[in-house]
Structures are given as C-alpha cells and as structure tokens.
C-alpha cells in the first residue's frame, strides 16, 4: 500500500493576531487540575428553577421544535417589552423593537456590525469586558479606550475629550463587569449629553440589570428618552435565570436601529432555540422570578464579603453584578496573573487578574472573584482564603 500523501492547507493570515488562549481558560484548567474552588469564571454552580426547565420541556413535548420567527417568538418579545415598560417606564414595540438573540455576546457583535464601518472609532471604558475589543477590531473599527478612575468611576470629561469626527459609538456596561460598579443617574445624563452632542450610537450592555444592591435602582439607558433613541440595550436571560449555557438574550432598540440590527442577525444567527423561547415566555409571566434577584445575590455578596473581611484583602465596593474585586497589595507584590495562579495552586481558590480586562495590561494588584456560587462553595473558598 502506498504511503498516504500529506497535504499542506493554505496559510491563514489571522484576523486576530493578539488573541491566544484566554486567562479564563487558563485559570479554569488550572483550577480543575489542582482541585481549587473556581471563583474565576462568571457562572453559577447551582441549578435554575425546575419550573423553568419544566416550561422548556413542555414546549418540546408540544412539538414547538421548528424554526421560530427570525426576531423571536411574539410571546417572548411581548413579555420583554412589558417588563421594560413596568420597570423603566419605556414602551418598546414588541414587534419592531425587540429582538431575541443567541446570547448577549452575539447581540453586542451584531449591534457593532450594524453601525460600525472600517475606520470608525468606538469608545470603550477600561477595564473592559473581553469581547468588546476583538469585536470592534474584527469589523475594522478602531478601539479608543478610556481608563476608569482608580475607584472604577467613569471620567466623563475624558470620554468627551476622546470623541473625534471618526467616533461612531460608545459602549457601556452597567452593572460593570469586571469592577461591580454601577452607573447612576448623573452618569447616564453625562452619557446622554455626550451621545447627543456628538450624534453617537450607544451600545448599553445591561446583562446584570437585575443584580444591583443596597436599594439602588438600575439606571437603564431605556429610562432616558434621548439616550434610548440612539441605543442598543442588551440584556441576558442566561444571567438572570442562572442558565448561562442556554445563550439566550435580547436587544431593545428603536425601530430604525432594530431594522439594521436584524439585517445582520438574520444572516449570522437567523434565530434562537424555539422551545427555550417558549419556556422563557411562560416563566417570565411571573415578575417576582426576576424582581427577587437583587436580594438573592446580595445575600451571597454579603456572606462572601463578611468572610473576606477576616483576611488581608482590601475589599472594593461591589454595587452590582456577581463579582467582587479585592486588592491584594498587603499580601503580595506579585503581578496579577502570577498572583492568581499562586492563589489557585497554593491556596486552592481560583480568581481572575484584573489586568486581563485591559488592552495593554495594567497592574493594580487587584483580582476578581465570582460569588454566584452555592453557599457551601463560598464557605469552602472562605475557609481556604482565611489563611491569608
């Protein structure tokens, strides 16, 4: 038998030369290898409400398993529009202004594809969620990163100064991953002023909208008419209902923006799991199922913070999300990535270095923990961290 021939495939000039194995993958693999408590990646280790699973299973059994409408099933878009109206006082037309997406990351990328052209500038706030910069660069846009303050507040004067004739959009994320900061009314009015004055689009990533603590309201872009008129507002069923693996979210935007959004959505995803949409629509008819989330996660946050108070970590505020930042400068002078690896291998608790959320790594001596975990998981992590 002749020896098999070897073939050389065409070479690929990568569109993403700066992207390699992410720190999230590295830390999760290390946590598994060392048997560490994984407080690195941001997903729950507990199940969703069985009633939600039952609702999805019922939809499957009823034969709701074929393609749904491209924009999402009417029942789910209607309940989303009703939720936004009830909470934020903004009425979106469910038919022309709400689109169901394959997760928030897809919604963000789709919004960018709809509005950004090669050479356009997009302002982001650092530390920045890890998908934003690659998304912008894949489209041919230029990233303009504005650093947040040392207290993780937005320096709006610097944002305004960063606007040029090439600026097309501003991306914001509140509650903010990774810092846990929230934008308040004054912030939203500054954002609105800048966007209106410079005629910019806004992509408002609000996937943690139901995780805002200490009685503070979530200041959605939906609340501000002039801002809403130019904004893609994105939220996540996966984050809200503890089903991150389902990858289902939505985008609310005025009809002209939605029309362009759907042109892209139709040809990169087309549509989203039919039975999951039907299950979510049924489950969301009871608003308490998402309105109770702030109290649910605040109990976890408070438990975790109380335990960390007995360590040498300095706790930074956690106003929203399910993340807690800590300053470890009293413990070590190691760079953040090295400290996170040491924490995983020697202490048995995995965290994420904040430097991973900067285009050019910045060392602040800060790491991020995720407290969206069972109480026993948090207590085990705190027991190990008590050595510090």
| Comparison of pLDDT for 41 and 122, the residue scoring more | 122
pLDDT of residue 26: 86
Q: What is the mean pLDDT of residues 143-159?
A: 97
Which residues have C-beta within 8 Å of that of residue 388, sequence separation ≥ 6? Answer: 311, 312, 313, 331, 347
Confidence of residue 6 (pLDDT cuts 50, 70, 90): confident
359 pLDDT above the threshold of 90: no
Confidence of residue 361 (pLDDT cuts 50, 70, 90): confident
pLDDT of residue 260: 98
Which residues have C-beta within 8 Å of that of residue 100, sequence separation ≥ 6? Answer: 71, 72, 73, 76, 77, 80, 248, 249, 250, 271, 272, 277
Q: What is the mean pLDDT of residues 254-274?
A: 97
* Domain 23-48+291-385, second-level architecture: Alpha-Beta Complex (3.90)
Topology of domain 62-287, per CATH?
3.40.640
Question: Would you kindly state where each structural domain of the chain is located, as residue ranges?
Answer: 23-48+291-385, 62-287
Q: What is the mean pLDDT of residues 189-208?
A: 98
Do the domains spanning 23-48+291-385 and 62-287 agree at the CATH topology level? no
Confidence of residue 2 (pLDDT cuts 50, 70, 90): low
pLDDT of residue 1: 57
Q: Which residue, among 388, 237, 227, has the nearest Cα to 314 in the 3D structure? A: 388
Confidence of residue 110 (pLDDT cuts 50, 70, 90): very high
Q: What is the mean pLDDT of residues 196-208?
A: 98
């Amino acid at each position: 038998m002749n020896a098999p021939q070897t073939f050389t495939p065409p070479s690929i000039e990568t569109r993403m030369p700066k992207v390699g194995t992410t720190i999230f993958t590295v830390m999760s693999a290390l946590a598994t290898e060392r048997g560490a408590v994984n407080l690195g990646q941001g997903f729950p280790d507990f199940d969703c409400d069985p009633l939600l699973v039952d609702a999805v299973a019922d939809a499957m059994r009823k034969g709701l398993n074929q393609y749904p409408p491209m924009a999402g099933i009417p029942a789910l878009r209607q309940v989303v529009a009703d939720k936004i109206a009830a909470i934020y006082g903004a009425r979106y037309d469910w038919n022309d202004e709400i689109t169901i997406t394959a997760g928030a990351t897809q919604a963000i990328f789709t919004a960018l594809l709809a509005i950004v052209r090669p050479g356009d500038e997009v302002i982001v706030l650092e530390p920045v969620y890890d998908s934003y910069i690659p998304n912008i660069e894949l489209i041919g846009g230029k990233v303009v990163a504005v650093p947040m303050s040392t207290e993780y507040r937005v320096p709006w004067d610097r944002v305004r100064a960063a606007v040029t004739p090439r600026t097309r959009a501003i991306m914001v994320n509140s509650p903010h991953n990774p810092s846990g900061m929230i934008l308040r009314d004054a912030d939203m009015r500054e954002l609105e002023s800048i966007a209106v004055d410079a005629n910019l689009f806004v992509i408002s990533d609000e996937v943690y909208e139901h995780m805002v603590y200490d009685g503070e309201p979530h200041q959605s872009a939906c609340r501000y008419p002039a801002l809403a008129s130019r904004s893609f507002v994105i939220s996540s069923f996966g984050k809200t209902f503890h089903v991150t693996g389902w990858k289902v979210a939505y985008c609310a935007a005025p009809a002209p923006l939605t029309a362009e959004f759907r042109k892209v959505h139709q040809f990169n995803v087309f549509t989203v799991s039919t039975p999951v949409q039907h299950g979510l629509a049924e489950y969301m008819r009871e608003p308490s199922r998402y309105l109770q989330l702030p109290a649910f996660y605040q109990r976890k946050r408070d438990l975790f913070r109380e335990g960390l108070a007995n360590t040498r970590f300095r706790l930074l505020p956690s106003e929203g999300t399910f993340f807690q930042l800590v300053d470890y400068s009293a413990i070590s002078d190691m760079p953040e990535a090295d400290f996170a690896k040491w924490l995983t291998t020697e202490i048995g608790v995995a965290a994420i270095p904040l430097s991973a959320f900067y285009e050019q790594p910045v060392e602040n001596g800060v790491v991020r923990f995720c407290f969206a975990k069972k109480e026993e998981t948090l207590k085990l992590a705190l027991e190990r961290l008590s050595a510090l």
